[in-house]
Chains A and B, each alone.
Chain A
Amino acid sequence: MGFNQLLFLWTAIFPIAVLLYYFFRKKYTKQPVSSTLFWKEVMKETKASPYLQHLQRNALFYLQMLAMLLLVLALLQPFWKTKALAGEQIVFIVDTSATMAVASDNTTLFEKHKKEMMTLVDQLSGKPLTIITTGNQPSVIVRQETNLGLIKEELAKLEISYEEENMSKSLDFAQSFFQNKETSVYIFTDQLDRQSLPLQFDTVSWNVKGLTTDALNLSIKRFGATTTASGISALIQVENQSNKEQQTEVILSNEEKELVKKQITVPPNETITLSFDELKESTYLKAFIPIQDQYTLDNSMTVFMQNQLSKVFVDNSLHSLVRTAFQSMDIEVSSIQAEQVNLLKEEGIIVTNQLVLDDQLERPSLFIGRNDQQAKEVNGEIQTTDHALFSFANLSDVYVRAVYPPIEGYTTIATVGEDPFVQVSERGNIIVLADIQMTDWPLHPSFPLFMWSAKEQLSAGNTYLGTFSPNERKPLSLGSTTNEWEVYTKDDSYEYSIENGGAFIAPKEPGLYVLRSKEEEKNFAVALAQKEKEIVKGDSYEIGGQQVDAQENYTQYSFVPYLLVVLLLLFVMEWEVQRRRGFTN
Chain B
Amino acid sequence: MSTEHLVPKDWAGKLSRLSIATKSKLRGQHKGSHRSQRFGSSLDFSDFREYHLGDDVRQIDWNVYARTDKYFIKRFLDEQEMRVHILLDSTKSMGDTVKWTFAKQLAVSLGLLVLQRDDRLSFSAVIDDNKPVFRRKGATYRKAFTQTVSALEQPTMTTPFSESAVSFIPKDSTVLFVITDALENLESWGKLLQKLPKFAGDIRILQVVTREELVPNYSGDIQLEDVETSQQLNVSMSSRVIEAYEQERVLHQHGLELLCRKFGVKLLQVNAEDGISHVLFHQLLRANWVQ
B213 touches A34 (CB 8 A): yes
**Smallest Cβ distance from B179 to chain A, in angstroms?**
14
A1 contacts B by Cβ under 8 Å:
no
B235 touches A39 (CB 8 A): yes
| Chain B residues with CB under 8 A of A35 | 93, 181, 183-184, 226-228
- Contact partner of A30 (CB less than 8 A), chosen from B185, B223, B239, is B223
| Contact residues, A33-62 vs B (CB, 8 A) | 33-43, 45-46, 57
| Contact residues, B198-249 vs A (CB, 8 A) | 210, 212-213, 216, 218-229, 231, 233-236, 238-239, 241, 244-245, 248-249
B233 touches A38 (CB 8 A): no
B99 contacts A by Cβ under 8 Å:
yes
- Measured between alpha carbons, how far is A570 from B177 in the docked complex, in Å? 59
| Chain B residues with CB under 8 A of A46 | 241, 244
| Chain B residues with CB under 8 A of A584 | 219-220
B225 touches A32 (CB 8 A): yes
* Chain A: CB-nearest residue to B184: A37
* Chain A: CB-nearest residue to B226: A36
B34 contacts A by Cβ under 8 Å:
no
The verdict on A29 contacting B220 (CB below 8 Å), with A34-B93, A34-B183, A43-B235 known, is: yes
A27 contacts B by Cβ under 8 Å:
yes
- Contact partner of B233 (CB less than 8 A), chosen from A40, A581, A582, is A40
**Smallest Cβ distance from A160 to chain B, in angstroms?**
72
| Contact residues, A474-513 vs B (CB, 8 A) | none
A33 touches B223 (CB 8 A): no
A31 touches B244 (CB 8 A): no
A562 contacts B by Cβ under 8 Å:
no
| Chain B residues with CB under 8 A of A30 | 222-223, 225
| Contact residues, B160-211 vs A (CB, 8 A) | 181, 183-185, 210
B96 contacts A by Cβ under 8 Å:
yes
The verdict on A36 contacting B236 (CB below 8 Å), with A42-B241, A45-B244, A584-B219 known, is: no
- Measured between alpha carbons, how far is A580 from B234 in the docked complex, in Å? 20
Please tell me the size bucket of the interface on A.
20 to 34
A43 touches B233 (CB 8 A): yes
| Contact residues, A553-585 vs B (CB, 8 A) | 580-582, 584
A21 contacts B by Cβ under 8 Å:
no
- Measured between alpha carbons, how far is A45 from B216 in the docked complex, in Å? 18
A32 touches B227 (CB 8 A): yes
The verdict on A57 contacting B219 (CB below 8 Å), with A36-B224, A42-B241 known, is: no
B183 touches A31 (CB 8 A): no
- Measured between alpha carbons, how far is A35 from B226 in the docked complex, in Å? 5
| Contact residues, A518-554 vs B (CB, 8 A) | none
Total residue contacts A-B, CB cutoff 8 A = 91
B252 contacts A by Cβ under 8 Å:
yes
* Chain B: CB-nearest residue to A29: B222
**Smallest Cβ distance from A108 to chain B, in angstroms?**
70
A28 contacts B by Cβ under 8 Å:
yes
A36 touches B231 (CB 8 A): yes
- Contact partner of A38 (CB less than 8 A), chosen from B210, B229, B252, is B252
Interface size on B, residues (CB 8 A): 38
- Measured between alpha carbons, how far is A180 from B174 in the docked complex, in Å? 116
| Chain B residues with CB under 8 A of A45 | 244
B245 touches A582 (CB 8 A): no
B236 touches A57 (CB 8 A): yes
| Chain A residues with CB under 8 A of B185 | 37
| Chain A residues with CB under 8 A of B226 | 33-37
**Smallest Cβ distance from B223 to chain A, in angstroms?**
4
A42 touches B236 (CB 8 A): no
- Measured between alpha carbons, how far is A30 from B233 in the docked complex, in Å? 10
| Chain B residues with CB under 8 A of A57 | 221, 236
| Chain A residues with CB under 8 A of B219 | 582, 584
**Smallest Cβ distance from A583 to chain B, in angstroms?**
9
Interface hub of A27, A37, A40 (most chain B Cβ within 10 A): A37
A31 touches B218 (CB 8 A): yes
- Measured between alpha carbons, how far is A581 from B242 in the docked complex, in Å? 11
B88-104 near A? 1/0 per residue, CB < 8 Å:
00000111100100000
| Chain A residues with CB under 8 A of B181 | 34-35
- Measured between alpha carbons, how far is A31 from B95 in the docked complex, in Å? 14
B222 touches A28 (CB 8 A): yes
A41 touches B220 (CB 8 A): no
| Chain A residues with CB under 8 A of B210 | 34
| Chain B residues with CB under 8 A of A38 | 245, 248-249, 252
B184 touches A36 (CB 8 A): no
The verdict on A31 contacting B241 (CB below 8 Å), with A37-B184, A39-B233 known, is: no
B245 touches A42 (CB 8 A): yes
* Chain B: CB-nearest residue to A585: B219
**Smallest Cβ distance from B210 to chain A, in angstroms?**
8
**Smallest Cβ distance from A348 to chain B, in angstroms?**
107
The verdict on A31 contacting B249 (CB below 8 Å), with A42-B235, A43-B235 known, is: no
- Measured between alpha carbons, how far is A581 from B238 in the docked complex, in Å? 5
* Chain A: CB-nearest residue to B94: A34
The verdict on A29 contacting B183 (CB below 8 Å), with A35-B93, A42-B245 known, is: no
A582 touches B238 (CB 8 A): yes
* Chain A: CB-nearest residue to B238: A581
**Smallest Cβ distance from B126 to chain A, in angstroms?**
16
- Contact partner of B223 (CB less than 8 A), chosen from A31, A34, A43, A582, is A31
- Measured between alpha carbons, how far is A33 from B218 in the docked complex, in Å? 11
A39 touches B224 (CB 8 A): yes
* Chain B: CB-nearest residue to A34: B93
Given contacts A30-B223, A35-B93, 8 further A-B contacts (CB under 8 A): A31-B224, A32-B224, A33-B213, A33-B224, A34-B95, A37-B184, A42-B248, A46-B244
Could you show 14 A-B contacts with beta carbons less than 8 Å apart?
A28-B234, A29-B221, A34-B93, A34-B95, A34-B99, A34-B228, A35-B93, A35-B184, A35-B228, A37-B185, A38-B248, A39-B235, A39-B245, A580-B238
Give B contacts to A, CB under 8 Å: 93-96, 99, 181, 183-185, 210, 212-213, 216, 218-229, 231, 233-236, 238-239, 241, 244-245, 248-249, 252
Give A contacts to B, CB under 8 Å: 27-43, 45-46, 57, 580-582, 584
Which 8 pairs, one residue from A and one from B, show the smallest C-beta to C-beta distance?
A: A28-B223, A35-B183, A38-B248, A36-B226, A34-B93, A42-B244, A41-B248, A57-B236
